[in-house]
Amino acid sequence: MCPAYIDNEKEVHLNRRIVGFLFLLISLGFFAPNLKSQEGTAAKQPVAPVRPVTDDYYGTKIVDNYRYMENLKDPEVQEWFKNQNDYTRATLANIPGRDKLLARIKELDQSVPVIVRGVQRLPGDRYFYQKLLPGESTPKLYIRQGLGGEERLLVDPDKIEVAASNRSKGKNALAYVDISQDGKYAAVGITPGGSENDTEIHVVDVATGHEAGDVIFRALHGDPQWLPDNRSFVYGRLQDLPPDAPKTELRQKGRAYLHVLGTDPKKDPAVFGYGVVPSIDVDPKRTAHISTSPGSKYAIGWVESGVSPNCNYYIEPVEAVGTSNSAWRKFADLSDDGTDVAMHGEDLYLLTFKNASRYKILRTDARHPDLSSAEVVVPPTEAVVQTMSAAEDALYVQVLDGGINRVLRVPYGPKPKVENLALPLDGSASLMGSDPRVPGVLFALTSWTNAGGLYSYDPKTKQVLDTKIEQFGPYAHDDDIEAVNVKVKSYDGTPVPLSIVYPKGIKLDGSHPTLLGGYGAYGLVSSSPVFYSYQIAWHEKGGIFATCGVRGGGEYGEDWHLAGKGPTKPNTWRDFIACAEYLIDKKYTSPAHLAGDGASAGGILIGRAITERPDLFGAAIIHSGVLDALRFETTANGVGNIPEFGSTKTKAGFEALYAMSAYHHVKDRTPYPAVLLTVGMNDPRVDPWESAKMTARLQAATSSGKPVLLYVHYAGGHGPIGATEQQLQEAKADIWSFLLWQLGDPGFQPPKR
């Protein structure tokens, strides 16, 4: 996909296993460890003062009772956050059964010897990868020579010294890694405490493991791309704004910069983007990037269209980047609906959904690109073409076909005969990338019941082999669970994919605690298979996981995305409601035992599902959710999301945003389900006040007597970004304990007082 578009949900970028991360957010949540109060009882839950502010949108008056919470620096607001957090901590810590559940989750999780992410293979059989060992807090960067070679620790993010202003934010985490084309340097992004806006680029000498001394700040969109001289790279960074600048300006006027090793980053010239190239008019709300490819004579520049998948694409000789000979040529406009580019020699490949909702791949001559005469090398079919990666021998393509991923091999040259790789497992196959100088491809593979592994394809032997880099231990699969994929008719008759994972042999009597997740935004897929060993702990309690591929996501291509975007957004939560009704009708569960879950943009889905049909759910979890959609565009990240959700600057935009704003659909004296909302105070994507306002409104309105809790992670960002492994284990235990309590498990019921 268009790289800037994917970066908006940065979780995807962390390990390039899109499905795995989204499932983690959707099914588990994230917040810091619980602490028991000294007395072992919860303090009194604070009540937020009501201070109404009325806005007039095109004759419609909207009352906002908690507008003052948007000032997160207000001491009164800070105190309210703290007291809510203290109350939540004490409440969750005193749920019976939680400690045993946590112990089981740790046992399952720590049984995995090695967790590996972001594998890169370079010529000479050199591998770079991020690895997490049991008991460690965050992944570290390693290098090894050959799959059987001895590995060496290259970067421990905890030992990277960040700016003084970032040291108190929390644990350092690796945001991205790019290796110079000769393999001598690694440019790594270090994010402190999940504060992505404060990401720093550090350059490390691969031979010694020592820093080269180059440090670049505000590198949220850093994504370094090394040039062929191996002494310089292009990257992106946020503006350096004065303290009194509007926060909506922070992510605007995006540019790509050129850094030469050993020079002052403050003097790095802008080489592409807003106001850089006179002949290229870049909207200040858009972000501009440059990508390079080892061995290629060309650099690709692109300007994203906000969070929509299509981009404007440009090309020029890589040797001209940042010189007086720079002459970018546009080869794809927004109307060409291009979302990704790959290079091999003089061949330029474009992934596009123009006249192909489920995507196709075109090939043209990079010297004189002309899409009107481009060859279709991967035609549109029922399968969704998701991404592509160029290797020495062929172009490798990932497709989604009926909820299962396949990997295609497309030989270079005209009229290629597309090959379908024989995979050892039906499930989610996620390309981890390839190198145009190395034959074959690396990919991750998992299913609903099998953790799978990291595999490589050797075009000489035509074999798919387990690299053995990643190890899953004794719980790599679960023979006691099974999965079923069904199509559920939504309110308008549209079939919606629903996956249900459950313990074998259960009685369909409506008694099972069930966690139904969904996402439905940006065209991202959230309903493909994934398995982690710790999920066994939920199934051992009789629990069911279900995932609904609602409209707005990418399960069926761009048409599916457009059917849940802007004015069509109600389809997203109504599809979710239909899936909830299916689970109840088929007696997998019942309203008293069903929980809904949504994260980030998925907060729209779950927020509107429980405000439209509170009777369907016994509980709900909302992580870093977009809940006050009318005010989202006033935030730093909200401006870039206008193409996806809309703007109040037009009447139609206001009407769409009001329809999807859960905060404004909470009604007084309504029996809402139990709700747990989680936030990270370093979150740069969805401001914490959105969850705070929703918490206060639900607490004031609900008549069910069920708890509405806010959990605050002061050293965390958006979801699990910046989280330690221990914090994630605590999160699983806390979320599931809360759910088992509210969904009626006898072992999790606090004593009545």
pLDDT in tens, 684-702: 899 999 999 999 999 999 9
According to DSSP, residue 578 is labeled H
**561 confidence band (pLDDT: 50, 70, 90):** very high
> What distance separates the 2 farthest-apart alpha carbons in the chain?
77
Of 33-47, 92-106, 228-242, least confident by mean pLDDT is 33-47
Does residue 1 register a pLDDT over 80?
no
Q: Give the least confident one: 31-35, 109-113, 310-314, 549-553.
A: 31-35
196-200, 302-306, 458-462, 531-535: segment of lowest average pLDDT: 302-306
The model carries a pTM of 0.91
Cα 551 to Cα 8, 311, 354, 548: the distances in Å are 19, 22, 19, 9
Mean pLDDT of 151-175: 92
Query: What digits encode the pLDDT tens for the residues 367-420?
Result: 999 999 999 999 999 999 999 999 999 999 999 998 899 999 999 999 999 999
Q: What is the pLDDT of residue 728?
A: 83
Note the pLDDT of residue 243. Answer: 86
Average pLDDT value over all residues in the chain:
91
CA angle 333, 175, 222 (to 5 degrees): 45
> Rounded to whole angstroms, how far apart are CA atoms 121 and 143?
10
Please compute the mean of the pLDDT values over residues 700-711 and round it to a whole number. 97
Closest residue by Cα to residue 594 from 516, 531, 684:
516
C-alpha–C-alpha distance, residues 571 and 560, integer Å: 10
* 12, pLDDT greater than 70: no
CA distance 88 to 738: 11
**Mean pLDDT calculated for residue range 108-133:** 91
Mean pLDDT computed over 306-317? 90
Residue 423 confidence (pLDDT): 95
Q: What is the pLDDT of residues 25-39, one digit of tens each?
A: 433 333 333 333 333
Q: Dihedral of CA 318/322/325/329: which sign?
A: positive
Checking if the pLDDT of 724 tops 80, the result is no
Contacts (Cβ under 8 Å, ≥6 apart) of 672:
610, 611, 614, 666, 698, 701, 702, 703, 704, 706, 708
Query: What are 227-261's pLDDT values in tens digits?
Result: 999 999 999 999 988 888 888 888 888 899 999 99
Alpha-carbon distance of 476 to 478, in angstroms, equals 7
Report how far residue 529's alpha carbon sits from residue 445's, in angstroms, rounded to the nearest whole number.
9
Contacts of 100 (CB under 8 A, 6+ apart): none
**What value does the mean pLDDT take over residues 2-27?**
36
DSSP 673: P
Helix H or strand E encompassing 559: helix 558-562
The confidence score (pLDDT) of residue 150 equals 93
Specify whether the CB–CB gap between 307 and 3 falls below 8 A: no
Q: How far, in Å, CA of 249 to CA of 657, rounded?
A: 21
